[in-house]
Chain A
Amino acid sequence: MSYHFDLTLAQARDALKAKKLSAVELVKAHCEAVERLDGRLNSFITRTLDQAREQAAAADATLQKGEGGLLTGIPLGVKDLFATKGVRTTAASHILENFVPPYESTVTTNLLREGAIFLGKLNLDEFAMGSTNLTSAFGGVENPWKKKDSDARLVPGGSSGGSAVAVAAGLVLGATGTDTGGSIRQPSAYCGITGIKPTYGRCSRFGTIAFASSLDQAGPMARNVQDCAILLEAMAGFDPRDSTSVEKDVPHYEATLGQGIKGLRVGIPKEYRTDGLSEEIQALWDQGISWLRAAGAEIVEISLPHTKYGLPTYYIAALAEASSNLSRYDGVRFGKRVPAKSLDELYEATRGQGFGEEVKRRILLGTYVLSSGYYDAYYLRAQKVRTLIKQDFLNAYEKCDFILAPTAPSGAFAWDEKPTDPVQVYLNDIFTVPASLAGVPAMSVPAGLSHEGVPLGLQLIGRYFDEETLFRAGYVLEQAAAFHHRPTLHAGVSA
């Protein structure tokens, strides 16, 4: 086999355009990698490999004529939360296990328009609710990384765990993710890849199965910053079918990469230095600060005073919205149905059996915080605290151009190390939810390995619609970190 899985998406694109590589060759190698490795990794829920091979032949014909879009012939994976016309879309839930959408989401439509080839639908936490990818009704996903001297299966993070793993293991050159409270950034960090949650409103939510509508935002996950820049340019754009989509031109992000960050001010939020922060994460963060300073940025301390209230605010807002969004799965019009004697019993049996444990927990809590007598005490209060959290960011951006923070409080842990207390699981998202609540863009870049040998990420948080500065700064971090490690399980490693 001639293909070695060492090309980035950008390099593959250039090789295709220069006709040094054919789309058939590229797609065939990735399809074989999926067949070889994914029985174990379980990053795909549905594979569309035959269709992909056919599309590759068509892509070559287009490329031969010197035509094609930004992504012609590039094999990608799609988180199974995006509706794909004629291809089963499950949200990793039994309740949608046989759902075949008759329409295509806007994000995937945009990628197809640019010539991308989808190898299939990627695993996730059920309805994107989780940060371990262990809540999927289609089984957990294995992180291709291993801790030193241990063969224990590690979690990939979540909810976009399948996306992170398919990219990290070399099964695809890039993937779509969605991020509600960290679901792109945290699995990217756990799997040693790059992922960006753009500004809320940058990518259309049309055709993306809803979890918490005021927070959900799609974004790319890929090997490096340049690949994310290429993918975001293709995915993003105004869509009249999403009322929260913002009418704003999408820049040519790739062109900003080499511009450097000389003279930019980097905010370091003092509240993120919590007592519980491990020395290792602290050291990584300090290293990141030195890298940015060495590149000519000015380091300024900033304050985001309501940081500690981010997580509880997030859980109230997200769960309330989730309980409302998921009421549509009633077993009547589409999806799974469990027959019963009365209508109420049909609803209860369908939803009781169709949803998994974490989804039910969140629906119950969301219903509670919205219920009569508790609405003001919980939901309304959380919405007000959310205003204060957003204001913290706006105040901070008076003093700085972007923010540097860790992505997660630890690296990937073993499947059986997942805490049993839900509150402990939620703490994984402590550094990612504030940006989600404010709606500002944020990116995770792999920055080093832990003492146990697993990847750790640094997070860059920007101003509304200023993804360009994140790409510039992310590129600087990437060059300085020179993270070229590969996971144990990888398409380019012969078994």
Chain B
Amino acid sequence: MSLDAKTVLKMARLSRLGLSPEEVSTYQKEMQGILGWVEQLNEVDITNVSPMVGTDLARARLREDLVTDGDCQEAVLSNAPDREGPFYTVPKVVE
């Protein structure tokens, strides 16, 4: 298992994490170690095994399509970094 700095930078880019050059080099070493360690899973025979996506204990449920709460404009806006009257304002996110 070899993992180069370019791959770390690519993952950082995909996950929008700004990393310093020192961080890139530290993470490169550590990720390489961790990925080497997880390779032991290749020993396991997984032929005809289906992936586990949950415990299957909960049932999918339907409910009436009703308003269950509302009238909480101030609560919704309480964590807005900026607002204009009753509106959320954010940096331009569509380019």
Does chain A bind chain B? yes
Question: What is A's interface to B at a CB cutoff of 8 Å?
Answer: 99-100, 102-103, 199-201, 214, 240, 243-247, 306, 308-309, 312-313, 315-316, 323, 327, 330, 332-335, 337, 343-349, 351-353, 355, 357, 360-361, 363-365, 367-368, 371, 378, 380-388, 390, 421-423, 437-439, 464-465
Point out the residues of chain B lying under 8 angstroms from A363, CB to CB.
15, 17
A99 to B63, CA, bound (A): 31
A315 to B80, CA, bound (A): 34
**Residue B44 at the chain A interface, CB threshold 8 Å:** yes
| Sample of 20 more A-B contacts, CB < 8 Å, known A244-B58, A364-B31, A390-B55 | A100-B79, A102-B76, A102-B79, A200-B55, A246-B58, A315-B38, A323-B15, A332-B90, A333-B79, A333-B80, A349-B18, A361-B31, A363-B15, A363-B17, A384-B50, A384-B52, A422-B30, A423-B34, A423-B37, A438-B55
Point out the residues of chain B lying under 8 angstroms from A386, CB to CB.
51-52
Point out the residues of chain B lying under 8 angstroms from A337, CB to CB.
81
A332 to B11, CA, bound (A): 21
Point out the residues of chain B lying under 8 angstroms from A330, CB to CB.
16
Point out the residues of chain B lying under 8 angstroms from A100, CB to CB.
78-79
Least Cβ–Cβ distance between A67 and chain B, in angstroms: 28
**Residue B67 at the chain A interface, CB threshold 8 Å:** no
A343-B91, A364-B8 are known contacts. Are A381 and B41 too (CB-CB below 8 A)?
yes
Point out the residues of chain A lying under 8 angstroms from B72, CB to CB.
102
Main secondary structure of the interface of B (DSSP, over half): loop
Least Cβ–Cβ distance between A442 and chain B, in angstroms: 14
A102-B78, A332-B90, A368-B11 are known contacts. Are A353 and B18 too (CB-CB below 8 A)?
yes
Q: Which 9 A-B pairs have the closest CB atoms?
A: A352-B18, A383-B51, A348-B18, A102-B75, A439-B55, A347-B16, A334-B79, A312-B38, A384-B46
Point out the residues of chain B lying under 8 angstroms from A103, CB to CB.
75
Point out the residues of chain B lying under 8 angstroms from A437, CB to CB.
52
A334 to B37, CA, bound (A): 37
Residue contact A343 to B92, C-beta cutoff 8 Å: yes
Residue from A247, A316, A346, A384 with most neighbouring chain B CB atoms (10 Å): A384
Residue contact B49 to A387, C-beta cutoff 8 Å: yes
Point out the residues of chain A lying under 8 angstroms from B44, CB to CB.
306, 309, 381, 384-385, 388
Point out the residues of chain A lying under 8 angstroms from B54, CB to CB.
214, 244, 439
A309 to B92, CA, bound (A): 46
Residue contact B88 to A333, C-beta cutoff 8 Å: yes
Q: Which residue of A lies closest to B72 (CB)?
A: A102
A306 to B38, CA, bound (A): 14
Residue from A308, A353, A423 with most neighbouring chain B CB atoms (10 Å): A423
- How many B residues face the partner with a CB closer than 8 A? 50
Residue contact B11 to A371, C-beta cutoff 8 Å: yes
Point out the residues of chain B lying under 8 angstroms from A381, CB to CB.
41-42, 44, 46
Residue contact B15 to A327, C-beta cutoff 8 Å: yes
Residue from B17, B40, B50 with most neighbouring chain A CB atoms (10 Å): B17
Point out the residues of chain A lying under 8 angstroms from B84, CB to CB.
none
A294 to B53, CA, bound (A): 40
A384 to B53, CA, bound (A): 9
Would you give 11 A-B contacts (Cβ < 8 Å), ordered by A?
Answer: A309-B41, A315-B34, A332-B90, A334-B79, A348-B18, A364-B12, A364-B15, A367-B11, A384-B50, A387-B51, A388-B49
Least Cβ–Cβ distance between A93 and chain B, in angstroms: 14
A465 to B12, CA, bound (A): 40
**Residue B23 at the chain A interface, CB threshold 8 Å:** yes
Least Cβ–Cβ distance between B92 and chain A, in angstroms: 7
Point out the residues of chain A lying under 8 angstroms from B93, CB to CB.
332, 343
A367-B15, A421-B33, A464-B55 are known contacts. Are A360 and B95 too (CB-CB below 8 A)?
no
Point out the residues of chain A lying under 8 angstroms from B34, CB to CB.
315, 365, 422-423
Residue from A312, A346, A386, A438 with most neighbouring chain B CB atoms (10 Å): A312
Point out the residues of chain A lying under 8 angstroms from B7, CB to CB.
368
Point out the residues of chain A lying under 8 angstroms from B18, CB to CB.
345, 348-349, 351-353
Residue contact A309 to B40, C-beta cutoff 8 Å: yes
